[in-house]
Amino acid sequence: MKDAILAHLRYGLGKDASHSSVYDWRMALSHALRDRAVDHWIPSTQTTYARKAKRVYYLSMEFLIGRLVEDMAANLGATEEARAALAELGQDFDTLVRDEPDAALGNGGLGRLAACFMDSLATLGIPAMGYGIRYEHGLFEQDFVDGQQIEKPETWLSQKHAWEFERPEVQYSITFGGHVEHHDGRAHWHPHETVFATAHDTPVIGWQGRWGNTLRLWSAQPVKIFDLASFNRGDYLAASRSEALARTICRVLYPDDTTETGKELRLKQEYFFTAASIQDLIRRFLVTHDDIRRLDEAAAIQLNDTHPAIAGPELVRLLVDVHGLGMGEAIDLARRCLGYTNHTLLPEALERWPEWLFGRVLPRHLEIIREIEATQQAEFAGSPRILDHGNVQMGELAFIMAHKVNGVSALHTDLVKQTLFSDLHRIHPTRIINQTNGITPRRWLHTCNPALSGLITGAIGDGWVADLEQLKALKGKTGDAAFLSDFMAAKRHNKERLSNWVQQTLGQSIDPDAMFDVQIKRIHEYKRQHMNILETIALWNEMKANPGAGWQPRVKIFGGKAAPGYHVAKEIIHLINDVATVINNDPATKDLLQIVYPPNYNVTMAEMLIPAADLSEQISTAGKEASGTGNMKFALNGALTIGTLDGANVEIREHVGAENFFLFGLTAQEIMEARKQPGFARATIEKSPRMQRVLQQIAEGRFSPGDASRYHGFVGNLWDHDYFCVSLDFDNYYDTQRRADEAFGHRDAWAAMALTNTAGMGWFSSDRTIQGYARDIWDVGPADAKTLE
């Protein structure tokens, strides 16, 4: 390892040890680890080719992978070796780890799920390729100025990406616009614009290096850098126009996690990476097979939401226009290859494109969608339409073109059947299935929480890392006082680590003995961060009114970004920061209640916050959070959940036991009923003196001195609309928080509940989720059973 690092430093970076920066050392270490990754990766690919094994293609606009050094070293079993080699070279492993930029090629849950799935596919030895976009700029960096979010461009590629291999030879033409002619019984698309898609491969190595897959991200290149005729005429701008289009396509990740409809560039991004991926997988298939009609035997294509739903029409286009299949058989074959995962019920989040815009960018695909529509209507008269009111509805398209459609938690899947796709479900009653989300235990316990991970391995061995259900064995320890004390010592260690970081980065002192109550996720009204901050104000009021009541000290920790155009979400951020300024500086309560909101929440921050949490806030309006995956990470790391019956919370509660979960709030059914009542919010708030008082304080400017009207709109909306039903759940939430206070006061009982959470979370491994997809959707297994022995 030491020699490999030095060789990379010298011959890869052209540096000698005495003049190397942290960056140089980190690159050298990464390349030394990457070499080892390649030694697992190449044999895996060879095996897959040799066996003509079926591959999974996971198409996703987002892969939220975060940092890779620590995870790669851990999966390769090389952490201690790397640490020791660096120490001999006078370098500190952890310093190099912290130098790596966090690859934020995703918004949140959907993108992080894709990254966890890649880890599980490799760990299970299932041949797979993740396909996505190599964004030049990932999710924006967040800063707070006077409590308000400002966005700065993210620049992870300003340094070289240590893990990728550029593949200039793997290049496809992607075309846009123009028109279609029909002659000789065929369609001829004459596009107006062309860019090249170039592959960049990152190896993904599973636990203990048993198997390696590829994350293949596409970047766009101009077909010609200069139009020479224009250039010679002296028209330099026109000369580089094609370059400009190519550069914009993969320039930046759209920072919305609910659809922002009708942006032409977004459609181009979607088509760009989907078309490159489909061409690539067909080319690969034809290396080993000669009959394209058997594509489904070698390729399972999974659509991560509707963002790559153009894969259906694109595959049909290639099968018909290039490979000469009939339209009907092409549609059937495409359907046998495709699966579609739905991640949302929010109507505003369903992708729809105006037909005129869609036809302008993808004229041939619009024709094919009309054919798909006609075929569907011929077979199932009255079927819901893909083309509706002048829009192309991507959800319907994805549903009709997939042989399986899955929801991401049991509750979500029921709601998909009953609401979103009820008519299509009646027509295709076996198509919708559930695959409850999961998380990779490698990153989300083994690597991010060495204190707890070491304790568990000491008690039950390390088999749990690849077989998380083994955590069940810890149930036998919930009565073991010595073990519980070690368990709480690990938590305490993580809380100290976080407290030190908060002190250093924010200059704020927090007490590691206080309850750490954490809500980290994108800011959304349905996730109800505003309910949390209202409850915080109510608690503060009570503490001041009854100073001698023996309050449980709490630290309320928030993290999360708002979409730049989402006004209310930005208002919620401002409010949390305003409330923090007042409460944190109140001498009467500052030792009892603190609010911490570090800017720029990302994967790396999650890896520090989650192991330090006592209480996990999962408080969305029932029926709105498709699954949640943060909820799983917290419970696995021994936090208790305060939550509603929403998404995967329902299943988490079943697995850890109702007595170890702080449940509150209306059910999805009750919410739907209550909403029908006009004026429900006003009527409810009028019956809650506690909530009324809090709203009044906010409206009077108690937290925005000098700008009393700042939150008038916000407060008015809660009285008059409150679509996400904060009013209906508020008092119940407050009371449940006080039950959590009480429980936290009995540290031994709390420890047993927390350990029961960890012990019960084995089922939520993404290994289990991937085994479900492999069995029910993809019909694949490990390519080489021996590698898994």
Task: Write out the catalytic residue numbers.
Answer: 343, 521-522, 527, 629, 633
For the chain, give the number of residues: 789
At its nearest, how many Å lie between ligand 26Q and the CB of residue 107? 5
Q: How far apart are CA 269 and CA 62, in angstroms?
A: 12
At its nearest, how many Å lie between ligand 26Q and the CB of residue 91? 37
Q: How far apart are CA 38 and CA 46, in angstroms?
A: 12
Contact range with ligand 26Q by CB under 6 A, out of 34-42, 106-114, 288-296, 740-748: 106-114
In the bound state with ligand 26Q, the residue whose beta carbon lies nearer, of 349 and 539, is 349
Closest Cα partner for 207 from 471, 464, 27, 4? 464
Binding to ligand 26Q by CB under 6 A, coded x per residue (else -) over 55-94, reads ----------------------------------------
Contact range with ligand 26Q by CB under 6 A, out of 140-148, 327-335, 506-514, 627-635: 627-635
Q: How far apart are CA 502 and CA 597, in angstroms?
A: 10
In the bound state with ligand 26Q, the residue whose beta carbon lies nearer, of 210 and 570, is 570
Among 31, 134, 343, 352, binds ligand 26Q (CB under 6 A): 343
Q: How far apart are CA 372 and CA 179, in angstroms?
A: 20
Query: What 8-state DSSP symbol labels residue 380?
Result: S
End-to-end Cα spacing for the chain:
26
Residue 119 interacts with ligand 26Q (CB under 6 A): yes or no: no
Q: How far apart are CA 456 and CA 475, in angstroms?
A: 12
At its nearest, how many Å lie between ligand 26Q and the CB of residue 114? 9
Residue 395 interacts with ligand 26Q (CB under 6 A): yes or no: no
Residue 637 interacts with ligand 26Q (CB under 6 A): yes or no: no
In the bound state with ligand 26Q, the residue whose beta carbon lies nearer, of 221 and 342, is 342
Contact range with ligand 26Q by CB under 6 A, out of 28-36, 342-350, 360-368, 578-586: 342-350
Q: How far apart are CA 772 and CA 462, in angstroms?
A: 24
| Contact residues for 185 (Cβ-Cβ < 8 A; gap 6+) | none
What are the two backbone dihedrals, phi and then psi, of residue 141, each rounded to the nearest 5 degrees? Answer: -85, 140
The dihedral built from the CA positions of residue 684, 685, 687 and 690, taken in this order, carries a sign that is: positive
Residue 627 interacts with ligand 26Q (CB under 6 A): yes or no: yes
Binding to ligand 26Q by CB under 6 A, coded x per residue (else -) over 400-419, reads --------x-----------
Place of tokens 């991937």: 770
Residue 561 interacts with ligand 26Q (CB under 6 A): yes or no: no
Count Cβ atoms within 10 A of the Cβ of residue 287 and give its class: 0-12 exposed, 13-18 middle, 19 or more buried: exposed
In the bound state with ligand 26Q, the residue whose beta carbon lies nearer, of 55 and 112, is 112
Within 445-474, the residues that bind ligand 26Q by CB under 6 A are none
- Is 67 in contact with 103 (CB distance < 8 Å)? yes
Residue 638 interacts with ligand 26Q (CB under 6 A): yes or no: no
Residue 110 interacts with ligand 26Q (CB under 6 A): yes or no: yes
Q: How far apart are CA 570 and CA 524, in angstroms?
A: 9
At its nearest, how many Å lie between ligand 26Q and the CB of residue 568? 17
At its nearest, how many Å lie between ligand 26Q and the CB of residue 528? 13
Among 302, 344, 529, 532, binds ligand 26Q (CB under 6 A): 344
| Contact residues for 71 (Cβ-Cβ < 8 A; gap 6+) | 119, 442, 443, 447
Q: Where are the alpha helices (DSSP H) in 290-350?
A: 311-317, 327-337
| Contact residues for 343 (Cβ-Cβ < 8 A; gap 6+) | 109, 110, 304, 305, 408, 626, 627
Give the three-class secondary structure for 634: helix
Among 92, 99, 227, 260, binds ligand 26Q (CB under 6 A): 260
Contact range with ligand 26Q by CB under 6 A, out of 152-160, 343-351, 438-446, 478-486: 343-351
Among 198, 406, 437, 453, binds ligand 26Q (CB under 6 A): 437
Among 56, 113, 267, 319, binds ligand 26Q (CB under 6 A): 113
Contact range with ligand 26Q by CB under 6 A, out of 72-80, 104-112, 284-292, 393-401: 104-112
At its nearest, how many Å lie between ligand 26Q and the CB of residue 341? 7
| Contact residues for 581 (Cβ-Cβ < 8 A; gap 6+) | 147, 703
At its nearest, how many Å lie between ligand 26Q and the CB of residue 556? 22
Among 66, 109, 125, 638, binds ligand 26Q (CB under 6 A): 109
Among 91, 107, 519, 736, binds ligand 26Q (CB under 6 A): 107
Among 395, 628, 643, 762, binds ligand 26Q (CB under 6 A): 628
- Is 405 in contact with 340 (CB distance < 8 Å)? yes
In the bound state with ligand 26Q, the residue whose beta carbon lies nearer, of 25 and 764, is 764
Closest Cα partner for 546 from 516, 580, 589? 589
For 15, 64, 133, the CA distances from 380, given in Å and listed in that order, are: 67, 39, 36
In the bound state with ligand 26Q, the residue whose beta carbon lies nearer, of 81 and 256, is 256
At its nearest, how many Å lie between ligand 26Q and the CB of residue 408? 4
| Contact residues for 763 (Cβ-Cβ < 8 A; gap 6+) | 438, 468, 469, 651, 655
In the bound state with ligand 26Q, the residue whose beta carbon lies nearer, of 437 and 447, is 437
Residue 256 interacts with ligand 26Q (CB under 6 A): yes or no: yes
Residue 108 interacts with ligand 26Q (CB under 6 A): yes or no: yes
Among 207, 254, 464, 714, binds ligand 26Q (CB under 6 A): 254
Binding to ligand 26Q by CB under 6 A, coded x per residue (else -) over 644-673, reads ---x--------------------------
Contact range with ligand 26Q by CB under 6 A, out of 244-252, 386-394, 621-629, 745-753: 621-629
Q: The tokens of 166 are what?
A: 């550029």
In the bound state with ligand 26Q, the residue whose beta carbon lies nearer, of 264 and 467, is 264
* Binding-site size, ligand 26Q (CB under 6 A): 24
In the bound state with ligand 26Q, the residue whose beta carbon lies nearer, of 113 and 362, is 113
In the chain, DSSP finds a helix count (H) and a strand count (E) of 32, 24
- What string of DSSP letters covers 399-412? HHH-SEEEESSHHH
Q: Which residue is nearest to ligand 26Q (CB)?
A: 109
Within 358-387, the residues that bind ligand 26Q by CB under 6 A are none
| Contact residues for 762 (Cβ-Cβ < 8 A; gap 6+) | 464, 468, 469, 470, 471, 472
At its nearest, how many Å lie between ligand 26Q and the CB of residue 412? 8
In the bound state with ligand 26Q, the residue whose beta carbon lies nearer, of 9 and 636, is 636
Give the three-class secondary structure for 274: helix
Half-sphere exposure of 74 (CA within 13 A, CB side): 23
Within 725-744, the residues that bind ligand 26Q by CB under 6 A are none
At its nearest, how many Å lie between ligand 26Q and the CB of residue 230? 34
Neighbours of 144 (CB within 10 A): 16
At its nearest, how many Å lie between ligand 26Q and the CB of residue 82? 32
Residue 393 interacts with ligand 26Q (CB under 6 A): yes or no: no
- What string of DSSP letters covers 442-474? IIIIIIT-HHHHHHHHHHH-SGGGT-GGGGGGG
Among 215, 330, 349, 613, binds ligand 26Q (CB under 6 A): 349
- Is 689 in contact with 681 (CB distance < 8 Å)? no
Judged by the rule CB under 6 A, the positions of this chain that interact with ligand 26Q are 107-110, 113, 254, 256-260, 266, 343-344, 349, 351, 408, 437, 625-629, 647
